Amino acid sequence: QVQLANSGGGLVQVGGSLKLSCTAYGPTRSSFAMGWFRQAPGKEREFVAGITEGGGSTRYADSVKDRFRIFRDNAANTKHLQMNDLKPEDTAVYYCVLNNKGDYYFSDDTSNYWGQGTRVTVSS
């Protein structure tokens, strides 16, 4: 089984920044994808950002694409989500996800592994 540990989140003022990090532990395929979804109370879970294992391809929700950046550093199984210019509508619980088929659209739920979630609150 794959386990995901994420960190970051917290309370920030409008216009501020936060960085989320997620590390995958356990067996992974030769190629995989990671990303984040988020869910606010009374709202459906929505895609935020995704990245391939090597970082060669990324994708973003339209609502965040000019403000957020997903990237990796030296460790292939660790990804980061840099969130800038935060808005109240970014307030949600953010969930890291890994897809063991390398699908950064996360279409196949049977290949998705989810982190525990971290709360981001943007105050106005």
Residue-wise pLDDT tens digits, 52-73: 988 889 999 999 999 999 999 8
Of 23-27, 43-47, 59-63, 82-86, least confident by mean pLDDT is 23-27
Q: Could you report the per-residue pLDDT of 81-121, keeping only the tens digit for each?
A: 999 999 999 999 999 999 999 999 999 999 999 999 999 99
pLDDT level of residue 31 (50, 70, 90 thresholds): confident
With a CB cutoff of 8 Å and minimum separation 6, the contacts of 83 are: 17, 18, 19, 20, 64, 67, 68, 90, 120
- Contact, 12 vs 83, CB < 8 A? no
